[in-house]
Amino acid sequence: MAEVTWGLTTSHVPSIGAAMDRERTEDPYWKPLFDGYRPAREWMAEHTPDVIILIYNDHANAIPLAMVPTFAVGTAAGFHVADEGWGTRPVPDVIGHPALAAHLVESLVDDEFDITVAHQLEVDHGLTVPLSVYCPAPGDAWPAPVIPIVVNVIQYPQPTAARCYALGKALGRAIRSYPEDLKVAVFGTGGMSHQLAGERAGLINEEFDRMFLAKIQDDPQSLADLSREEYVREAGSEGIEMIMWLIMRGAMDDEITRIAETYHVPASNTAAALALFENRA
pLDDT, one tens digit per residue, over 35-47 is 999 999 999 999 9
Whole-prediction pTM: 0.97
264 given a catalytic annotation: no
Is the pLDDT assigned to residue 8 strictly greater than 60?
yes
Torsion, Cα of 129, 132, 134, 140 (10° steps) = 140
Instruction: Give the pLDDT of residue 211.
Output: 98
Q: Which residue has the higher pLDDT, 86 or 109?
A: 109
Helix axes 125-134, 14-21, angle to 10 degrees: 50
> Where does the pLDDT of residue 281 fall: very low under 50, low under 70, confident under 90, or very high at 90 and above?
low
pLDDT confidence tier of residue 256, bands split at 50, 70 and 90:
very high
Q: Report residue 155 CA to chain centroid gap.
A: 18
Q: What is the pLDDT of residues 158-214, one digit of tens each?
A: 999 999 999 999 999 999 999 999 999 999 999 999 999 999 999 999 999 999 999
The chain-wide mean pLDDT, for the chain, equals: 97
Average pLDDT over residues 253-278: 96
pLDDT (0 to 100) of residue 79: 98
Q: Is 47 a catalytic residue?
A: no
Q: Is the model's pLDDT at 232 over the cut of 80?
A: yes
* C-alpha to C-alpha distances, 142 to 62, 74, 177, nearest whole angstrom: 20, 17, 26
**Contact at 8 Å (CB) between 152 and 68?**
yes
CA atoms within 13 A on the CB side of 231: 28
DSSP 18: H
Confidence of residue 86 (pLDDT cuts 50, 70, 90): confident
Which distant-in-sequence residues (6+ apart) come within 8 Å of 189 by Cβ? 9, 10, 11, 12, 54, 55, 56, 126, 127, 129, 130, 241, 244, 245
Condensed to tens digits (0 to 9), the pLDDT of residues 9-32 reads 999 999 999 999 999 999 999 999
DSSP for 116-166, written as a single string = EEESS--B-HHHHHHHHHH-S--TTS-SS-EEEEEE--SSSSPPPHHHHHH
Calculate what percentage of the chain has a pLDDT beyond 70: 100
As a whole number of Å, the CA-based R_g of the chain is: 17
Question: Mean of the pLDDT values across residues 233-239?
Answer: 96
Q: Which of 12, 97, 103, 194 is catalytic?
A: 194
Contact 223, 90 (CB under 8 A): no
Catalytic pick among 12, 97, 103, 125: 125
| Reported confidence tier of residue 260, pLDDT bands at 50, 70, 90 | very high
Question: pLDDT grade, residue 153 (50/70/90)?
Answer: very high
Domains of the chain: 3-279 (3.40.830.10)
